[in-house]
């Protein structure tokens, strides 16, 4: 019996993997394959942090496959050409995948389906990486939603996502395995160990994802709605990189939270579960927007913003990237990002707002930095988040919403513990001043060992002046688009 190829992409798991389960249920031998397309991915090739994660995730996936009598075949090259060659080598009767909606993936899938049909090989695609089909969630007029609340309401009116399915106990193997590249050749780790902080913070792979979900679902979800805005507390699930790489599926999270809420007698249980699942809803919204508006990866959804008077300021961009802006919450977030490949979502919004509104640096430059440094760098989420903050995307924040980094720090890091961890040069400052060190008197600064402009920078821009400059810039495009 000819084998079936299961093409793994951002679905690096065995549980609730519709493509893999369909292949096993056919009864034919299964050849799992992953293709490194890095040299052909152009602008949106995975960044450095993502490549580190991918290396370890592929190793974990191969280990789990071998426990079930199988293994992962690794290849490199353009996806369509590489798969066609592998079909010819193995005589595969079908290529089975989980659908991906990113623009390049969608184009590749359409090309592959056509080419495989000419070879007499089946192309089977399943929906395993989203809760809802983005083509099925539309307005009454048949258009794509561009506002989150009605989008999520429409999602919740559909049938509940099906329960996740367990991993297959055994995976039938082919008589002969095709050649495979060694992992270190496919996705080499950097020669300089810059990723030490990532290694300390994360355990890539399906098992690591399951541990985080269990920990969150057993305990932390009960206080999620209260603690999720606090970067100083372990109030979030930290599942985002595992979700991006598909080491865990959204249906697994959905049903785990629903089950916990159903068993709990706490009055706020359903509210906390709903608050977390709403974040999954934002992920669905982001992927739907990218599916329907693929140009938004680098072009504003609101066309007026193509004429926005952004500034070119390489020095300020670099200062922001290095966490040296003089605003402690922004700096803490940017340093956490560099050390761990992750940043708390509230701090992401504040850091992004600072770049686009305090510094008037184009959102695309911030999105590119996040893409290279985040372990959960997701094209849909990254695009939605940056356009939302900049005010140029779907359901965007109002142009006049300009976060005050000091006030945000006092609200969301009230004791300064988050800043103390990531900006240790301010660790001895009292909580009253830790988010506004430039306001502290000389004696307080001296007692804390802080010398502004030397041990810690002064603010690179005054908040009040930056706010007025940003509002003036936004007014220019409003006037240009006003009816004459």
What is the distance of C-alpha 8 from the center of its chain? 18
Tell me, what's the pLDDT at 396?
A: 74
| Per-residue pLDDT tens digits for 78-107 | 999 999 999 999 999 999 999 988 888 888
152 and 122 in a single domain? The answer is: no
Residue 178 falls inside a structural domain: no
Contact 231, 331 (CB under 8 A): no
Q: How far apart are CA 114 and CA 123, in angstroms?
A: 9
Q: For every one of its 484 residues, what pLDDT tens digit does the chain have, with 9 covering 90 and above?
A: 899 999 999 999 999 999 999 999 999 999 999 999 886 677 788 888 999 999 999 999 999 999 999 999 999 999 999 999 999 999 999 999 999 888 888 888 999 999 999 999 999 999 899 999 999 999 999 999 999 999 999 999 999 999 999 999 999 999 999 999 999 988 777 665 666 788 888 999 999 999 999 999 888 888 898 899 999 999 999 999 999 999 999 999 999 998 888 777 666 777 888 999 999 999 999 999 999 999 999 999 998 899 999 999 999 999 999 999 999 999 999 999 999 999 999 999 999 999 999 999 999 999 999 999 999 999 999 999 999 999 999 887 777 789 999 999 999 999 999 999 999 999 999 999 999 999 999 999 999 999 999 999 999 999 999 999 999 999 988 765 554 3
| Domain CATH for 274 | 1.25.40.80
161 and 76 in a single domain? The answer is: no
**In the structure encoding, which two tokens stand for residue 217, read together?**
């679902």
| Domain CATH for 125 | 3.40.50.620
Tell me, what's the pLDDT at 137?
A: 95
323 and 401 in a single domain? The answer is: yes
Residue 174 falls inside a structural domain: no
Residue 148 falls inside a structural domain: yes
| Per-residue pLDDT tens digits for 188-202 | 776 656 667 888 889
393 and 421 in a single domain? The answer is: yes
Q: In which domain, by residue range, is 239 found?
A: 130-166+205-292
Residue 120 falls inside a structural domain: yes
452 and 351 in a single domain? The answer is: yes
Tell me, what's the pLDDT at 191?
A: 62
User: How many structural domains does the chain have?
Assistant: 3
Q: Which of 56, 1, 3, 54 is nearest to 171 (CA)?
A: 3
324 and 276 in a single domain? The answer is: no
| Per-residue pLDDT tens digits for 346-372 | 999 999 999 999 999 999 999 999 999
121 and 142 in a single domain? The answer is: no
| Domain CATH for 375 | 1.10.579.10
Tell me, what's the pLDDT at 484?
A: 39
Question: At which of 262, 292, 322 does a domain end?
Answer: 292
Residue 185 falls inside a structural domain: no
Question: At which of 100, 129, 158 does a domain end?
Answer: 129
Q: Between 328-340 and 314-321, two packed helices, what is the crossing angle to 10 degrees? A: 70
Residue 186 falls inside a structural domain: no
Tell me, what's the pLDDT at 270?
A: 77
Q: Which of 381, 379, 361 is nearest to 43 (CA)?
A: 379
Residue 472 falls inside a structural domain: yes
273 and 319 in a single domain? The answer is: no
282 and 396 in a single domain? The answer is: no
367 and 231 in a single domain? The answer is: no
Rounded alpha-carbon distances, angstroms, from residue 136 to 157, 243, 365 = 12, 22, 33
118 and 215 in a single domain? The answer is: no
234 and 277 in a single domain? The answer is: yes
Written as one string, the DSSP assignment of 184-223 is HHHSPPPSS-TTHHHHHH---SHHHHHHHHHHHHHTGGGG
Question: At which of 292, 318, 352 does a domain end?
Answer: 292
């Amino acid at each position: 019996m000819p084998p079936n190829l299961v093409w793994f992409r951002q679905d690096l798991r065995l549980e609730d993997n519709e493509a893999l389960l369909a292949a096993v249920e056919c009864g034919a031998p299964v050849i799992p394959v992953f293709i490194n397309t890095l040299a052909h991915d152009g602008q949106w090739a995975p960044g450095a942090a993502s490549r580190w994660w991918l290396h370890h995730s592929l190793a974990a996936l191969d280990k789990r496959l071998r426990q079930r009598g199988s293994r992962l075949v690794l290849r490199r090259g353009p996806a369509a050409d590489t798969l066609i060659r592998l079909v010819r080598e193995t005589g595969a009767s079908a290529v089975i995948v989980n659908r991906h909606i990113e623009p390049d993936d969608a184009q590749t899938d359409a090309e592959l389906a056509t080419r495989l049909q000419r070879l007499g090989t089946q192309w089977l695609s399943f929906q395993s990486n989203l809760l809802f089909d983005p083509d099925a969630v539309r307005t009454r007029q048949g258009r794509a939603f561009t506002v989150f609340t009605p989008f999520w309401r429409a999602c919740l009116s559909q049938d509940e996502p099906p329960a996740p399915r367990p991993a297959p106990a055994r995976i039938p193997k082919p008589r002969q395995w095709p050649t495979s590249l060694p992992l270190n050749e496919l996705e080499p780790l950097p020669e300089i160990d810059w990723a030490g902080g990532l290694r300390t913070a994360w355990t890539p792979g399906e098992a690591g994802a399951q541990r985080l979900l269990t920990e969150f679902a057993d305990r932390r979800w009960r206080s999620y709605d209260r603690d999720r805005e606090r970067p100083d507390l372990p109030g979030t699930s930290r599942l985002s990189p595992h979700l991006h790489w598909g080491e865990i599926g959204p249906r697994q999270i959905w049903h785990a939270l629903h089950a916990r809420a159903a068993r709990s007698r706490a009055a706020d249980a359903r509210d906390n579960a709903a608050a977390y699942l709403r974040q999954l809803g934002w992920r669905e919204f982001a992927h739907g927007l990218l599916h329907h508006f693929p140009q938004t990866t680098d072009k504003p959804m609101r066309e007026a913003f193509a004429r926005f008077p952004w500034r070119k300021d390489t020095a300020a961009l670099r200062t922001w990237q290095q966490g040296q802006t003089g605003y402690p919450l922004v700096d803490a977030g940017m340093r956490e990002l560099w050390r761990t490949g992750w940043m708390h979502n509230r701090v992401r919004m504040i850091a992004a707002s600072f770049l686009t509104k305090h510094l008037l640096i184009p959102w695309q430059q911030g999105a590119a930095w996040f893409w290279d440094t985040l372990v959960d760098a997701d094209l849909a989420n990254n695009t939605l988040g940056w356009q939302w903050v900049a005010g140029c995307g779907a359901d965007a924040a109002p142009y006049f919403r300009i976060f005050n980094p000091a006030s945000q720090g006092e609200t969301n890091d009230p004791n300064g513990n988050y800043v103390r961890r990531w900006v240790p040069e301010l660790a001895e400052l009292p909580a009253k001043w830790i988010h506004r060190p430039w306001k502290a008197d000389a004696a307080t600064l001296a007692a804390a060992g802080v010398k502004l402009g030397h041990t810690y920078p002064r603010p690179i821009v005054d908040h009040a002046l930056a706010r007025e400059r940003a509002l003036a810039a936004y007014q220019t495009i409003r006037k240009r688009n006003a009816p004459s």
